[in-house]
Amino acid sequence: MTDTPAPLRDAATVVLVRDSDHGIEVFLQRRVKQMAFAGGMTVFPGGGVDPRDSDADLSWTGPDADWWSEILSTTTELAQALVCAAVRETFEECGVLLASTADGTFPDPATLRDDRGALVDKSLSFAEFLRLRGLTLRADLLRPLAHWITPVNEKRRYDTRFFLAAVPPGQEPDDSTSEADIARWASAGDALEAWSAGKHFLLPPTWAQLTEVARFATVAELLAAERVIEPIEPNVSAGQGLSGLAFVNSDDYFAGLGTTTPNIDL
């Protein structure tokens, strides 16, 4: 008898990007090995939706929840929650805040350390945080990127929307999170080469987003590209582990997968 798949949890992940002399750089984190999901893997900032992320009483600049619901093929309520989760998780995990005052001024994230901690421990909701600080969520800084669903054979499963965002002027992501032991910028091409050489490990969704970013020369071109967001859920061949997954461009993924033991060195 087939086991019942684990329930899906909605999640949002943000690919933070910036221009450099070596091409577009992305902000990557290596999750601590003790994490229940993707421990030791190289990932982008992100996490699960907080039910309070759907709170309608918040200031919002940019495409509204109806626009996002159409792009992300979901309800308006969940679309808002996903966008809020994307901004909240990015702030929690690396200190970059995609929110500004009404005149477009970005606060210094260093002045919001206590708020960041309260968001992490869930004593403060994201909507409450924005209202408290007089901030508006900057949905105009996000772009839809992809939609991946964890395979049915995993014990923890996520229904994850990936977003793109350029780091706002004057902000710099940090490593002040207990969920990662390494955090740094790397060009998309270098991150892929290091993965192929066995220096760190990328799960298929992370590999796919890095591959997409590496196609572009500048952040402006990357953000301007139009994409059709369709869900990708890898098919599973029982008993074969990672090699038993099949998904869009999976042949390219396995062809580039390094054969040496990853030492997780970004």
**Mean of the pLDDT values across residues 54-80?**
94
Residue 205, in any domain of the structure: no
Residue 82 has pLDDT above 70, yes or no: yes
Residue carrying structure tokens 């939609």:
147
Residue 211 main-chain phi, psi, to 5 deg:
-65, -40
Q: What is the C-alpha to C-alpha distance for residues 2 and 191, in angstroms, rounded to an integer? A: 37
Name the band, by pLDDT with cuts 50, 70 and 90, for residue 258. Answer: low
Q: What is the DSSP string of the chain?
A: -PPPPPPEEEEEEEEEEE--TTS-EEEEEEEPTT-TTTTT-EE-SEEEPPGGGG-S-S-EESS-HHHHHHHHTS-HHHHHHHHHHHHHHHHHHH----EE-TTSPPP-GGGGHHHHHHHHTTSS-HHHHHHHHT-EEEGGGEEEEEEEE--TT-SSEEEEEEEEEEPPTT-------TTEEEEEEEEHHHHHHHHHTTSS---HHHHHHHHHHTT-SSHHHHHH------EE--EE-TT-GGGGEE-TTHHHHHHH---SPP----
For position 259, what pLDDT does the model report? 53
> Could you tell me the two tokens for 218?
């500048």
User: What pLDDT is stored for residue 178 in this prediction?
Assistant: 62
Q: Is residue 111, in this structure, part of any structural domain at all?
A: yes
Question: Range of 111's domain?
Answer: 8-190+213-233
Reply yes or no on whether the pLDDT at 103 is more than 70. Answer: yes
The total domain count for the chain is 1
Report CA 196 to chain centroid distance, whole Å.
21
Model confidence at 263: pLDDT above 70: no
CB atoms closer than 10 angstroms to residue 38: 18
Residue 122 in domain? yes
Q: What does the mean pLDDT of the chain come to?
A: 89
What is residue 239's predicted lDDT score, i.e. its pLDDT? 62
- pLDDT score for 260: 45
Checking if the pLDDT of 25 tops 90, the result is yes
Distance of CA 112 to the CA centre of its chain: 22
The tokens for 224 are 């301007």
Do residues 12 and 163 touch, judged by C-beta distance below 8 A? yes
Distance of CA 157 to the CA centre of its chain: 15
Domain membership flag for residue 197: no
Q: How far apart are CA 100 and CA 36, in angstroms?
A: 34
Is residue 195 situated within a structural domain? no
Structural tokens at position 127: 């909507």
Residue 68 placed within a domain: yes
Q: What is the CA radius of gyration of the chain?
A: 18
Tell me, yes or no, whether 3 lies in a domain. no
Q: What is the CATH number of the domain that holds 127?
A: 3.90.79.10
- Which of 61, 63, 66 is closest to 100 using CA atoms? 61
Cα(246)–Cα(252) distance, integer angstroms: 11
Average pLDDT over residues 217-226: 98
Residue 208 sits at the vertex; the CA angle it makes with 241 and 68, to the nearest 5 degrees, is 115
- Does residue 17 have a pLDDT over 90? yes
Q: Is residue 243 part of a domain?
A: no
pLDDT, position 39: 52
